[in-house]
């Protein structure tokens, strides 16, 4: 099944590295895996993890996902390898290609990820960069699909910084035909190139809105999604951003303005009383931990499709 899949041995650096049909295929495979309707075995396959940024869910979900399809994982910590001593990416990538069958890389600059992909002869997966977090988007839309089944009438509102998560939600939503609204303070909009790409996919239809008023953005929404206001590497901006994002907290008053059956998502870690209140985080509307679990299922499906 998977050896014939045209995704085999391809890179996954961006949501736009796959087509709508391939995205739907990955979500279907993830659902079958989760429901124990599909068992996949790739014996003797090795996943290499290169994480320049701290991680809990991404690291563990990849390790467990690889284990569940019969493979193993090598965790390459930059502080205990030659990567941390300045070995060129092109050398590291070519060496690891001879040891590993697939690489998952979590780093700051998207250009570094592209450099790994340029020199690696094996598939490279974006496990998060400052530009995109495509694996998170796979899990997000798997969670939304589980709840609403038909994605075509879903309205997803992201409230917070126009960061890598927002960028991937925009692109994934464009491929799936989901209306996406981004609510953020002025000056914190998503990447303009990402917005342009999404508009091109949608033929400039009004399925993407960038707003500065969360109360307006959330009206009638089926999904309310938030994330931390300051991403990793932005510690020096934390105090400034906390002030600018006042009024963008997902609280019970905001939730009441959404659809009565709306669900709440957060990619975690969460800072209660900042981007989300405790009562909303723990409410019956929350699907946050289902979303976290789905990282593992979505990544099993992705790995299964990429490994040759």
**In whole angstroms, how far apart are CA 292 and each of 123, 145, 288?**
24, 15, 6
pLDDT of residue 105: 97
What three-state secondary structure class fits 269? coil
CA distance 115 to 261: 44
CA distance 120 to 141: 29
Q: Is 267 annotated as catalytic?
A: yes
**pTM for this prediction:** 0.95
Q: Is 287 annotated as catalytic?
A: no
Q: Is 44 annotated as catalytic?
A: no
- Long-range Cβ contact pairs of 190-194 (< 8 A, separation 24 or more): 190/162, 190/163, 190/166, 191/131, 191/162, 191/167, 194/131, 194/167, 194/170
Q: Do domains 15-132+295-306 and 136-292 have the same CATH topology?
A: yes
CATH top class, domain 136-292: alpha beta
C-alpha neighbours within 13 Å on the C-beta side of residue 125:
31
Q: Is 266 annotated as catalytic?
A: no
Asked whether the beta carbons of 247 and 188 are under 8 A apart, the reply is no
Asked whether the beta carbons of 258 and 218 are under 8 A apart, the reply is yes
Asked whether the beta carbons of 92 and 41 are under 8 A apart, the reply is no
Q: For residue 269, is the peptide bond before it cis, meaning its omega torsion is within 30 degrees of 0?
A: yes
CA distance 197 to 45: 35
Of the residues 57, 59, 68, 106, only one is catalytic, namely 106
Of the residues 68, 266, 287, 295, only one is catalytic, namely 295
Q: Which CATH architecture best describes the domain 15-132+295-306?
A: 3-Layer(aba) Sandwich (3.40)
Of the residues 63, 136, 145, 300, only one is catalytic, namely 136
pLDDT of residue 204: 65
Q: Angle at CA 302, nearest 5°, toward 93 and 53? A: 50
CA distance 79 to 186: 38
Domain ranges of the chain: 15-132+295-306, 136-292
Please state whether beta strands 263-266 and 72-76 pair in parallel, antiparallel, or not at all (unpaired).
unpaired
Both structure tokens of 253: 């008053």
Of the residues 52, 101, 161, 227, only one is catalytic, namely 227
Residue 75's CB is within 10 A of a number of other CB atoms, namely: 14
Full pLDDT tens readout for the chain, 308 residues:
444 456 888 999 999 999 999 999 999 999 999 999 999 999 899 999 999 998 999 999 999 999 999 999 999 877 767 777 789 999 999 999 999 999 999 999 999 999 999 999 999 999 999 999 999 999 999 999 999 999 989 999 999 999 999 999 999 999 999 999 999 999 999 999 999 999 999 886 769 999 999 999 999 999 999 999 998 888 888 899 999 999 999 999 999 999 999 999 999 999 999 999 999 999 999 999 999 999 999 999 999 999 98
Of the residues 57, 59, 68, 133, only one is catalytic, namely 133
Identify each DSSP E strand in the chain by its residue range.
46-51, 72-76, 102-106, 124-126, 155-159, 179-183, 208-211, 223-226, 263-266
């Amino acid at each position: 099944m998977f050896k014939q899949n045209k995704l085999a041995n391809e890179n996954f650096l961006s949501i736009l590295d796959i087509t709508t049909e391939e995205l739907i295929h990955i979500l279907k495979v993830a659902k079958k895996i989760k429901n124990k309707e599909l068992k996949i075995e790739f014996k003797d396959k090795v996943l290499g993890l290169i994480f320049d940024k701290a991680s809990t869910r991404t690291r563990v979900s990849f390790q467990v996902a690889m284990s569940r399809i019969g493979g193993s994982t090598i965790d390459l910590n930059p502080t205990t390898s030659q990567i941390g001593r300045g070995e060129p990416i092109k050398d590291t990538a070519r060496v690891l290609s001879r040891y590993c069958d697939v690489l998952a890389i979590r780093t700051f600059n998207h250009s570094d990820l592209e450099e790994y992909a340029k020199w690696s002869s094996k598939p490279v997966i974006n496990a998060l960069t400052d530009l995109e977090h495509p694996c998170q988007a796979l899990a997000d839309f798997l969670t939304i699909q589980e709840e609403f089944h038909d994605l075509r009438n879903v309205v997803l509102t992201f409230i917070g910084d126009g960061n890598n998560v927002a960028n991937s939600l925009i692109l994934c939503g464009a491929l799936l035909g989901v209306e996406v609204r981004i609510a953020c303070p002025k000056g914190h909009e998503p990447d303009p190139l990402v917005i342009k790409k999404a508009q091109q996919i949608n033929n400039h239809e009004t399925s993407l809105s960038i707003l500065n008023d969360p109360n307006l953005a959330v009206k009638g929404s089926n999904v309310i999604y938030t994330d931390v206001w300051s991403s990793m590497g932005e510690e020096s901006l934390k105090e400034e951003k906390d002030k600018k994002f006042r009024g963008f907290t997902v609280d019970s008053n905001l939730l009441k303005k959404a659809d009565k059956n709306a669900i709440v998502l957060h990619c975690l870690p969460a800072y209660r009383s900042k981007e989300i209140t405790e009562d909303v985080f723990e409410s019956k509307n929350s699907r946050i931990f289902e979303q976290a679990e789905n990282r593992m299922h979505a990544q099993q499906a992705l790995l299964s499709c990429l490994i040759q």
